[in-house]
Amino acid sequence: MRSRQISLHPLHREILPRGWKLLPVGKALIDSQYGTNAASVDAGNTPVVGMKDIQAGKVLTSNLVRANLSDKERAKYLLEKGDILINRTNSFDLVGKVGIYDSDIEAAFASYLVRLKADLSQVMPEYLNYWLNGHVAQTTIKRIATKAISQANVNPTEFKKHCYIPLPSIGEQREAVSVLKTNDRVIEKIERLIAAKQKRFKSLIQQLINKNCELWPHFKARDLFRNISIKGYGNEKLLSVTQDCGVLPRTMLEGRVMSPEGSTDNYKLVVPGNFVISLRSFQGGLEYSKYKGIVSPAYTILFPKKEIHDDFYRHFFKSYIFIEKYLVIAVVGIRDGKQISSSDFESVKIPYPPVQEQRYIAEILNTATEEIKKFKQLAKKYRTQKRGLMQKLLTGKWQVNAAKEVA
C-alpha cells in the first residue's frame, strides 16, 4: 500500500540558513514507543503519566494515576529525563499535545501516549520539544490526525515521516533553547504571582464576606431581585453566559461559537446590571452582565428591586459560601446537576449588608481582581512573545550567536 502524499509544511531547505538541515522528525529520533495499557489501581506500584498530564509543553507529575507493573514492564515503560511524550489519541482539539519529561519521579506512561527519544547527536530534547509545540509542527500534526466520531488519532509512523524539523548545529540549538527558557522562567514567575494573588483573593472573600454573613440581615431573593423576561429584541448582539468571564458578547469569545438557527426574537434582553442564572449556576454561581444584548430564553434574568452595590453581589454570587451553603440548602438535588429554577432561587435567603458596607467590600475585592487581571494580561503578553520567538529562532529567521562547539 502506497503511503499517501502529504504536503504539510512551509519549510524548504533553501529558505533555511546555511548549514541547517531539514529532516523528518523520525530521522532525529533513536526510538519511539507506545505506553502501557495496564489498568489504573489506587494502590498501584507505579505512577503513570496520562493525557491530562501534558500541559503547555511539560509533563506534570503532581496528580498521576497508578498501576501495577511487573519489573519487566517497569524497565520498558519508565520515563527518563529528556523523553518527549506526544498524545496520539484525544479529542481533535487536544490530540497532538507534546511535553518533555523533566522529573526525578519514577513514572511510566499510558498507551494513548507515544514516547520519543531524541538522537542527541542531532537534536537536543528541549529543542525538539519547543519545535513540536510550535505552530508549524502543531498544524502538521492536526492535518495528519484522522478524525472519528468523538476523538482523533495521530499515527506515529505518519507523524515521524511527514512532520519535519529544521536543525541547526547543537551549539545554535543550545543558544535558542537558552533564550526560550529565559522567557519560560518569566512566565512561570508571573504564574506564581497570579496563584498567590488568587489565594489572597480567596482569603479576602473569607474575611470580608464569609465571616460576616451571619451578622447581616437576610432577605428572600424574591424581595431583593425580580425575574424579568423582555423579548422582541432579536437585532441586539448575542451574549454568552460563561463561568469564568461572566456575560459578554459572543464576538469576544476565542474559538468557534455556534450561532442560533432561526429567529432570535424570543431571546431575552439583558442590560448592564442584570444577573443571570445559567444552566451551570449550581457549579459556578450567578453571572453578572456589563453589556446589553440577548441570551437564550433558557436563562433566568434578574434585576435588583432594592438598592444594591452591583460589584458586591457580583463577588458574592460567585463565592464558595453562596454556591456551597446558600444554594445547597434551598435547591434539593443541586449536586446532581439540577437546573436552578426561578422559584428555587426566589426562596433562597440572601444577606443584605448596608449599602455603604457593600461598597467598601466591593472596592477591596475589585482592587484584588484588577491586580490578578493585570498579571494575567502580562502572562498572555509573554506567551505571545514566546510564540513569536519560537517561530523565528527555530526556523532560522533570527539567529543567536552559537557557543563554540567543544569536541
Q: What is the largest CA-CA distance in the chain?
A: 80
Please spell the DSSP secondary structure of 22-42, one letter per residue.
EEEGGGGEEEEEE-B-PPB-T
| Separation of alpha carbons 233 and 243, rounded Å | 24
Angle value at C-alpha 399, between 120 and 402, nearest 5 degrees = 50
Predicted pLDDT of residue 400: 74
CATH top class, domain 13-167: alpha beta
Predicted pLDDT of residue 389: 92
Predicted pLDDT of residue 404: 40
* First-to-final CA distance of the chain: 45
Q: Which residue has the cell 508549524?
A: 136
Strand residue runs (E) in 278-343? 287-288, 293-295, 300-304
Residue-wise pLDDT tens for the chain (407 aa)? 334 444 445 566 667 888 899 999 999 999 999 999 999 998 899 999 999 999 999 999 999 999 999 999 999 999 999 999 999 999 998 999 999 999 999 999 999 999 999 999 999 999 999 999 999 999 999 999 998 888 999 999 999 999 999 999 999 999 999 999 999 999 999 999 999 999 999 999 999 999 999 999 999 999 999 999 999 998 999 999 988 888 999 888 866 566 777 788 899 999 999 999 887 777 788 999 999 999 999 899 999 999 999 999 999 999 999 988 887 766 655 554 456 777 788 888 999 999 999 999 999 999 999 999 999 999 999 999 999 999 899 988 887 765 444 33
In sequence order, which residues have a C-beta less than 8 Å from that of residue 94 and are 6 or more positions away? 51, 87
C-alpha cell at 352: 443584605
Specify the amino acid at residue 127. Answer: Y
Please tell me the chain's helix, strand, coil percentages from 3-state DSSP, rounded to the nearest 5. 40, 20, 40
In sequence order, which residues have a C-beta less than 8 Å from that of residue 78 and are 6 or more positions away? 46, 106, 107, 108
Tell me the C-alpha to C-alpha distance, in Å, between residue 215 and each of 67, 211, 364: 50, 8, 19
CATH of domain 217-352: 3.90.220.20
| Separation of alpha carbons 334 and 93, rounded Å | 31
Find, among 86, 145, 82, 75, the residue nearest to 110 by Cα: 86
Predicted pLDDT of residue 77: 97
| Separation of alpha carbons 363 and 359, rounded Å | 6
Neighbouring C-beta atoms of residue 202, cutoff 10 Å: 14
